[in-house]
Structure 1
Amino acid sequence: MMLRNFYIFIFLLSFSFSANAQVEPLKEVAPPSFIKSIILSGSNDGDQFPVLKLGDPLRITFDDVNGDEVDYYYKIVHCNYDWTPSNLSKAQYMRGFDNQRIINYENSFNTLQLYSNYRLTIPNNFTTLLLTGNYMLSIYNDDDELMFSRKFIVYQNAVNVSAAVHRTRDLSTIDKDQLIQFEINSPNLFLRNPEREVKVAILQNYQWNRAIMNIKPQYTLGSKLMYRYNTETSFRGGNEFFNFDNKEIRGGNISIARIELRDVYHNFLHTNATRANEPYTFNPDVNGNFLINTIQGNDPSIEADYAKIHFSLNNYMKLDGSKVYVYGRFNNYALTEDNQLFYNAETDLYEAEILLKQGFYNYKYVVLTSKNELQHAKISGSYFQTENDYLIIVYFRKFGEVYDSIIGIGTTNSSVIKN
């Protein structure tokens, strides 16, 4: 009897430890230096943050500049609202199997930089997604080593979301911030306890690292959930992105100062200046995105060449041990040594050299302080007039369910700002 009670105690103790164990959210992993030009897209051309309606295709492409025709495999994990893995089995959110080899790839054609271009579409003969929600796609090599991972979402339209951008109500930041106010209308979906069942995420320019989350509805009005916060849903407006276009890799333009041919082409961009203390100037951009393109061939995926892009920043602000990075959608807004700028005493400039595929690119400079705080406005400045895209994602977990579904999305843009 005593032995039986001892085993029961051990079982309950182990169960208690497992129940209290903290499950860490999944994070996007930056690729190694030889993996380039990662693009996840949905049905809309140029949309590089895939917001997929359930059943729509997800397209993934990337290049391996080693050009060795390595075998790569994909895995997909369904996640909760906070990006922790959900308790669903793969059979519950997927028909078929993942961990399949990517069989569609081609080698580059008529380029100085050799590379292999890999292409994957989901759904395919092996994999079909069955549920809405957050998903993490991971790419592995044949040694089962993680190469990179990317987030995407799948939704269905069960509610309507309307949103608008306003000037912030905080007078101390009224010239810098943009306030998002919105409402969720659910005429055909009864929300019994919206404070517990409904969650939202608000993204600026589709950047998860700046998302506003855990915002509850302020009040209900019939079938509508109202979010009319004055400060809690505000973002720094930031500044417009810089851009360059090198689809003609051998010719200069307004953003490329000079070109050199070495092992590959080197494109030297005009030096950018610190804008934090300058007046706002409108500059059309694509809010951080990039588009692979070339005029030297018909298929940019294998005929666009790579060039070493030389970035330079003229900065006289004190950085006090902080680091400067150049980033955009082209590197998934990651902060790595590959995109860090280093001070060059000979030129008195901060400089970086990055191997990028031909095309049109947006980029911006950010600062990471010695306390590991990311400052987006330190060099670029922040202005309420800046044109930004906003995405509102609505999650729903009905009482008794074990996962967070996505029941609607809303979009708005700050080109029209209300007072």
Structure 2
Amino acid sequence: MPLLKYKYFLLLLLVSTTLFAQVKEVNPPNYIKTINFKGNTPETQLPILKLGEYVVLEFDALNGNEDDYYYKIDHYNYDWTPSILMKSEFMDGFDNQRIRNYENSFNTYQIYSHYQLTIPNEQTKRLKVSGNYLLRVFNNNDELVFSRKFMIYEDQAAVGVSIKRARDIQFIEKKQRVEILITPNSGQLNNPTQTVKTVIVQNNNLNTAIYNLKPQYTLGNQLIYKYDSETSFWGGNEYLFFENKDVRAANTGIRAIDLQDLYHNYLFTNVERASKPYTYNPDINGNYVITILDADNPSIEADYVWVHFSLAPTEWLKNKNIHVYGNFNNYVIDDSTKLMYDERNDVFRNAILLKQGFYNYKFVVKNKNGSLDEGAISGNFYQTENNYKVIVYYRDLGARYDKIIGIGEGSSVNISN
């Protein structure tokens, strides 16, 4: 192949790879904290809203600069590759606008600016189609600060979700299985094995979602999914939790308090639960809520606190890569969540800067290949209460994008055989 043609081929390959690569969320720098992203429900992260509803993004900037931030919105296919729709096809109005609504913290040790964006707004008047979206936030220099995914659905199909125990005797005590029944509101879904795709999300965590499930069989106009291993999730265990809405007094899960430059909260030392029997302990499935005692506006009056986590070691844990895990940072695993072994006190420790509130968390092991073992420390139990969402995508013959035609939700609190 001539050199010029070879270079052109490589350039074309690079462009194609860039255009059609799956988009991933970008995590914020250290000075951006408490990213709340929600629709009409109190759940933070992974908003799934009906076409025409609003979505709200909130975050804090701890650098004290009162910087300007801008947002852009893009539309994506089912598999999070860029869709071919132009901005004008999925949006009325404009993006790349400044986030105008912000306030500075009031009566806090940690100074911060609290930003809030609501979509639709005066500039971005309407998102016109359903499907996957990515909201990106940029600084003054047009540098990407962070990004978050969200979904918009149309009410075109009823999605039934049932949670069952695994059929495989090897995992019957540890896994939960999702069964799905999709019924279109009118007519039939054409060629469903090719045009219909589903995603199952456990506890709003896209990192563990199951993709690309095809209908197992049809009954009239209904699509039925009764798989075993293909729709099974590890049951996990109920999340641990603490509350520090009153920063000056010991609350749930907190054994000691100290005031230095900021307040420090020391949690009770947790123990490994995988080898112990399951115990029901109500949680909010990994989520968190910002709250404060004796104040009217937690968004700007809640302070930041160094929360000290600790885990009692067992011999097999001492060579493991252990992290604090939860929705407080969108289930991200990095250096800030890693526990270090304190040989002098024989305990694993880590401190994370968190805004006052009620938090769920657990300890997980990161394997050498980069995968997570969520049950290594907490255990896996079929009795665990987990939330499941099923997102149904449909691209009819000749259509140009993947619309979301229905959302189903189920809980394993009433799990059956």
TM-score, normalised via structure 1 length = 0.95
- Deviations, residues 43-90 of structure 1 (Å, cap 9, x unaligned): 123454311101101001000111210011111111111111111111
Matching residue of 1:131? 129
Cross-structure match for 1:89? 86
The answer as to whether partners of 1:159 and 1:189 remain within 8 angstroms in 2 is no
Paired with 1:16 and 1:149, the residues of 2 have a C-alpha distance of 26
Q: Distance in 2 between matches of 1:12 and 1:378?
A: 47
Cα deviation, residue 294, structure 1: 0.3
The aligned counterpart of 1:191 is 189
Contact 1:55–1:129 under 8 Å retained in 2: yes
Whether the 8 Å contact between 2:199 and 2:391 is mirrored in structure 1 is: yes
CA distance in 2, matches of 1:73, 1:19: 28
Query: Is structure 2 residue 75 aligned with structure 1 residue 75?
Result: no
Give the partner amino acid of 2:159.
Answer: V
1:215 maps to a residue whose letter is: L
Residue 411 of structure 2: aligned partner: 413
Equivalent residues of 2:19, 2:82 under 8 A apart: no
SS at 1:415 equivalent: helix
**1:156-235 aligned within 5 A:** 156-235=154-233
1:237 equivalent in structure 2: 235
Q: Which residue of 1 aligns with 2:58?
A: 61
Q: 1:317 to 1:406 in 2, by over 3 A?
A: farther
Match of 2:97 among 89, 96, 100: 100
Task: Write the distance in 2 (CA, Å) between the matches of 1:244 and 1:18.
Answer: 47
1:33 aligns with 2:30: yes
In structure 2, the residue matched to 1:294 is: 292
Matched position secondary structure for 2:193: helix
The answer to whether residue 239 in structure 2 is matched with residue 251 in structure 1 is: no
1:238 maps to amino acid: G
Tell me if 1:52 matches 2:53: no
Distance 1:350 1:96, change over 3 A: same
Q: Which residue of 2 aligns with 1:276?
A: 274
Paired with 1:21 and 1:28, the residues of 2 have a C-alpha distance of 15
Q: Is the 8 A contact 1:389 1:413 kept in 2?
A: yes
Change in CA separation of 1:274 and 1:381 when aligned onto 2, cut-off 3 Å: same
Do the aligned partners of residues 167 and 96 (structure 1) sit closer, same or farther apart at CA in structure 2, a change above 3 Å counting?
Answer: same
Alpha carbons of structure 1 residues 15 and 347: separation in structure 2 relative to 1, 3 Å: closer
The Cα shift of 1:187 comes to 4.0
More deviation in 390-399 or 364-373? 364-373
Where do 5+ consecutive residues of structure 1 fail to align?
1-6
Residue 22 and residue 169 in structure 1: after superposition, are their counterparts in 2 closer, same or farther (change >3 A)? farther
Which deviations, in whole Å up to 9, do the C-alpha atoms of 1:74-124 show, x marking residues without a partner? 111111111111111111111111111101000000001100000000000
- 2:385 aligns to what? 387
On the 8 A contact 2:45/2:330 being kept in 1, the answer is no
CA change 1:10–1:98 in 2 (3 A) is: same
Comparing 54-63 with 342-351, which one deviates more in the overlay? 342-351
Distance 1:336 1:10, change over 3 A: closer
Deviation of 1:9 after TM superposition, in Å, equals 13
Amino acid at match of 1:152: F
CA contact (8 A) 1:256 1:267 kept: yes
Q: 1:120 aligns with which of 114, 117, 125?
A: 117
Q: Which residue of 2 aligns with 1:24?
A: 21
How far the C-alpha of 1:322 sits from its partner, in A, is: 3.5
Shift of 1:296: 3.4
Shift of 1:340: 1.1
Contact 1:322–1:370 at 8 Å: present in 2 too?
no
Match of 2:337 in 1: 339
Aligned residues: 413
Change beyond 3 A, Cα 1:90–1:12: same
Identity %: 49
- 8 A contact 1:155–1:409 mirrored in 2: yes
Unmatched 5+ residue regions in structure 2?
Answer: none
